[in-house]
Structures are given as structure tokens and as C-alpha cells.
């Protein structure tokens, strides 16, 4: 017979107490696992959804001028900006260390053109990235071909443009492939064409006015991406589209802090349950511990028995708690993701972490009862009968 046999047999005998300790720890582990898994799954889901909302990083040439527009109202329609980025700069963005986090890179060249005597802004864009960068354009199966025009809703009204109509841009005659629906954004007043044609029309070969970037936000912080792009393009100003990114990050951080706070409270309660139940168990076993001490068990052996018991229950609580946590997450996830069947994020590290944390917390909560048990005076313990 070994010490662990004594621990195991005692647990088997005191089933109710063992079950109580198990439940206390298991509830803690289940809660933490469920909350962490839910948070990770919901984060993944939100991240995927946010990508559908377009670009979240904007790269523009560095400027010392202040903007002359506010809320869509421009003062005089003048532009003092002369600096440009180049297509080589766009290629440099693709080589940053965490380029795998970039979902889409959309260079844009901007300039004013005259259509039927009216000044209008022409944007040269890469239509192939527009599904990620401008998902609200709703291109469907087919994208506009090179040389075809996409017209914003207000611009179409003013220019009297319809799908299929021909528009003369300088020496180029282009066909309208699509009229965009109203978005409430600047897009409504702009006409779009592929980058090469725009550069040709605007007389800016190889030039890029700005670059829109959509980053996966699972692997944010976005600040890291910004820093890397800034390092790759020292002549550019790299900005997060703050309302989207910061709002997203802040909401997620607050959610995370809330979950961790809840987890901490539940885990502390679990530890308290272990401590109180172990103390009660030690007091119940005064005579038994007295016998052990009388027949020659050192204090350390008494401690080991108590800690073995704690280790056995805690490990079991970790395993069962992890399983229960994952099951709970599976059940709860649809409620957090609007019933859209988001996939459950399974982190193998969480399984190991849950068992290890349960073991450590169970042992830590049992150290005091174990010390009390080991310090029992055998003579006093045996006199209690």
C-alpha cells in the first residue's frame, strides 16, 4: 500500500465531500473554459464579419497640409496635395512581416475629370479587391472589365448615367457597367474605373493616391500592422480607420475583461469551496491523522496524503470541467452569434491549461488544510475519542 492508495480510498469513502470539492472546482473550470472558448469563437466570428465591412487601414502620402473639408463639405474644391504613392509602394505593403494578416490591398488613384462640363472625381480602383474592400458595392458574380465605369448613385443622377450608357472622359470613351446604390458615403459622388485606365485618363502613370487595406482582426493588434506598414513606407501616413477598428477592439477588450472578471470570481469561489471542504475533511479525520502520526508517519507524509487527494480531485475536475465547458460553449455559441452557426474555436492549449490550472488551484487551496493536518498533535488527536 502506498500513500496514494490511502488518498484514493479515503476519497472513495467520503464520496459526498469528494463530489463537493469536485463540483466546486469543476464549476470554476467549466466557466473559464466556456467563457474563453466563447470569447475566442465570437472573436473569430466577429473578425470574419468585420472583414465584410471593408478596409480598416488607410495608407496616404505624408502631408503637412490640413484637410479643407468637414462632413463632406469641401472649401473651394481645391487640392494642394501634390505627393503621390507609387505601385512599388503597394508591393512593399505585401512584403511586411505579418502580410498574412492582410486580407486585401486596394490601391486607388484619384483625380478630377470633366464630364459633360461637370467636374467629377474619378477614382481608379482594383475591382478584384472590391468584394473585400467595398462589399456594399454588391458586384455579384461578374466584375466590371477594364475600361468600364462604375458610377456612384448621386453622380449617376447628376451625369444622367445609366448602365450601358457611354461617357466621354477626355479622349477615352467608356461604358457604364454599374450604377451603385446609395451608400451615404463619398462613393455616391464618385465615378470608378480600373486603376490603369484611371492613371492614363488622369495622366498619372504608376501613381497611387492612397491604399486601402483590409486586415484580419483575429490577429490584431492593428497597431502592429500599422507600425510594419509605416516602416515599409516611410513616406506614407498609415492610419487605422479608427471608428471601426478602435470600436471593434474596445468592444472586444471590454468583453474580454468582463469574461476574465467573471472567470476570476468563479475560480475564487471554487478555491474557497475546496479550502473549506478540505478543512472540514481534515477536522473529521483528526483521529485517523492521529493514528498515522502515532504509528510513525512524518508530517510531510500527512501533507502528501491531503495533497494527493486534492491532486486526484483537481485533475478529474480539470478534465470534466474542460469537457463541460466545451459542451456549454457549443450550446451557447448560437445565442452569441445570432444563430448563424459560427464554428467553435477549439484551442488544444486550453485543454492542457484547464487541467493544469485546476490541479494548481486545487493544490494551492489544499495547502493550508494539509499544513493544519500535518501539525496535529498525535496525542491530542487520539484523546479526542
Partner 1 sequence: MITIEAKNLSKQYGTGDAAVMAVRDMSLKTLPGEFLSIMGESGSGKSTLLAMLGALNTPTSGSYMVDDMDVYGLSADQRADFRREFLGFVFQSFHLVPYLTVEENVMLPLVATTKSKKEKQLLAEAALEKVGLQGKGGRLPNQISGGEAERVAIARAVVNEPPILMADEPTGNLDSETSEEIMGLFTELNEQGITIIMVTHSHECARYAKRIVKVSDGLIVTDSAIEKVA
By CB under 8 A, is residue 384 in contact with partner 1?
no
Positive or negative: CA dihedral 342, 50, 179, 153: positive
Distance CA(385)–CA(367), nearest Å, equals 26
By CB under 8 A, is residue 6 in contact with partner 1?
yes
Positive or negative: CA dihedral 27, 29, 35, 37: negative
By CB under 8 A, is residue 293 in contact with partner 1?
yes
Among 20, 127, 292, 322, binds partner 1 (CB under 8 A): 292
Structural Rg of the chain based on CA atoms = 33
Among 13, 70, 80, 184, binds partner 1 (CB under 8 A): 13
Beta strand pairing call for 207-208 and 85-86 = antiparallel
By CB under 8 A, is residue 385 in contact with partner 1?
yes
Nearest residue to 131 (alpha-carbon basis) of 144, 148, 146, 149: 144
Find out whether 322 and 355 touch, Cβ atoms under 8 Å.
yes
By CB under 8 A, is residue 3 in contact with partner 1?
yes
Nearest residue to 198 (alpha-carbon basis) of 84, 65, 81: 84
Name the minimum Å distance from CB 377 to partner 1.
8
The nearer residue to partner 1, 215 or 310, going by C-beta atoms, is: 310
By CB under 8 A, is residue 283 in contact with partner 1?
no
Helix (H, G, I), strand (E, B), or coil: what is residue 316?
helix
Residues 349-378 that bind partner 1 (CB under 8 A): 378
Find out whether 139 and 127 touch, Cβ atoms under 8 Å.
yes
Distance CA(210)–CA(153), nearest Å, equals 22
Name the minimum Å distance from CB 285 to partner 1.
9
Stretch of 8-16, 162-170, 224-232, 353-361 lying at the interface with partner 1 (CB under 8 A): 8-16
Cβ neighbours of residue 334 closer than 8 Å, sequence gap 6 or more? 340, 341, 342
Name the minimum Å distance from CB 298 to partner 1.
5
The nearer residue to partner 1, 157 or 380, going by C-beta atoms, is: 380
Among 251, 262, 294, 331, binds partner 1 (CB under 8 A): 294
Distance CA(249)–CA(142), nearest Å, equals 34
Name the minimum Å distance from CB 291 to partner 1.
5
By CB under 8 A, is residue 1 in contact with partner 1?
yes
Name the minimum Å distance from CB 218 to partner 1.
52
By CB under 8 A, is residue 16 in contact with partner 1?
no
Among 298, 338, 343, 346, binds partner 1 (CB under 8 A): 298
Total residues in contact with partner 1, by rule CB under 8 A = 27
Quick one: cell of 222?
492593428
Among 5, 81, 157, 219, binds partner 1 (CB under 8 A): 5
Among 20, 39, 137, 297, binds partner 1 (CB under 8 A): 297
Nearest residue to 263 (alpha-carbon basis) of 64, 105, 36, 83: 36
By CB under 8 A, is residue 17 in contact with partner 1?
no
Among 66, 171, 295, 349, binds partner 1 (CB under 8 A): 295
Find out whether 192 and 149 touch, Cβ atoms under 8 Å.
yes
Distance CA(144)–CA(127), nearest Å, equals 7
Find out whether 41 and 255 touch, Cβ atoms under 8 Å.
no
Binding site for partner 1 (CB under 8 A): 1-3, 5-6, 9-10, 12-13, 287-288, 290-301, 378-379, 382, 385
Amino acid at each position: 500500500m502506498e500513500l496514494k492508495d490511502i488518498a484514493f480510498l479515503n476519497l472513495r469513502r467520503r464520496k459526498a465531500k469528494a463530489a463537493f470539492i469536485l463540483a466546486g472546482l469543476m464549476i470554476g473550470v467549466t466557466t473559464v473554459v466556456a467563457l474563453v472558448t466563447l470569447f475566442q469563437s465570437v472573436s473569430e466570428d466577429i473578425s470574419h464579419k468585420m472583414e465584410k465591412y471593408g478596409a480598416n487601414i488607410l495608407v496616404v502620402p505624408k502631408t503637412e497640409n490640413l484637410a479643407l473639408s468637414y462632413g463632406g463639405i469641401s472649401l473651394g474644391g481645391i487640392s494642394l496635395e501634390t505627393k503621390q504613392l507609387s505601385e512599388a509602394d503597394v508591393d512593399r505593403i505585401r512584403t511586411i512581416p505579418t502580410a498574412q494578416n492582410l486580407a486585401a490591398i486596394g490601391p486607388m488613384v484619384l483625380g478630377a475629370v470633366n464630364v459633360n462640363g461637370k467636374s467629377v472625381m474619378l477614382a481608379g480602383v482594383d475591382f478584384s479587391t472590391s468584394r473585400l474592400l467595398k462589399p456594399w458595392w454588391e458586384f455579384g458574380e461578374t466584375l466590371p472589365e477594364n475600361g468600364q465605369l462604375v458610377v456612384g448613385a448621386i453622380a449617376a443622377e447628376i451625369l444622367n448615367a445609366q448602365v450601358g450608357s457611354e461617357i466621354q472622359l477626355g479622349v477615352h470613351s467608356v461604358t457604364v457597367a454599374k450604377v451603385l446604390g446609395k451608400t451615404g458615403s463619398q462613393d455616391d459622388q464618385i465615378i470608378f474605373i480600373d486603376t490603369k485606365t484611371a492613371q492614363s485618363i488622369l495622366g498619372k502613370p504608376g501613381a497611387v493616391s492612397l491604399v486601402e487595406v483590409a486586415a484580419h482582426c483575429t490577429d490584431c493588434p492593428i497597431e502592429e500592422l500599422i507600425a510594419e506598414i509605416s516602416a515599409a513606407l516611410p513616406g506614407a501616413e498609415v492610419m487605422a480607420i479608427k471608428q471601426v477598428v478602435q470600436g471593434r477592439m474596445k468592444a472586444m477588450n471590454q468583453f474580454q475583461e468582463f469574461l476574465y472578471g467573471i472567470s476570476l470570481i468563479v475560480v475564487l469561489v471554487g478555491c474557497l469551496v475546496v479550502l473549506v471542504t478540505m478543512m472540514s475533511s481534515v477536522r473529521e479525520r483528526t483521529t485517523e491523522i492521529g493514528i498515522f502520526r502515532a504509528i510513525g508517519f512524518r508530517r510531510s507524509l500527512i501533507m502528501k496524503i491531503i495533497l494527493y487527494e486534492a491532486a486526484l480531485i483537481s485533475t478529474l475536475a480539470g478534465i470534466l470541467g474542460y469537457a463541460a465547458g466545451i459542451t456549454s460553449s457549443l450550446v451557447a455559441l448560437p445565442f452569441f452569434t445570432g444563430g448563424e452557426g459560427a464554428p467553435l474555436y477549439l484551442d488544444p492549449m486550453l485543454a492542457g491549461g484547464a487541467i493544469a490550472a485546476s490541479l494548481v488551484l486545487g493544490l494551492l487551496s489544499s495547502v493550508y488544510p494539509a499544513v493544519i493536518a500535518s501539525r496535529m498533535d498525535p496525542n491530542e488527536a487520539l484523546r479526542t475519542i
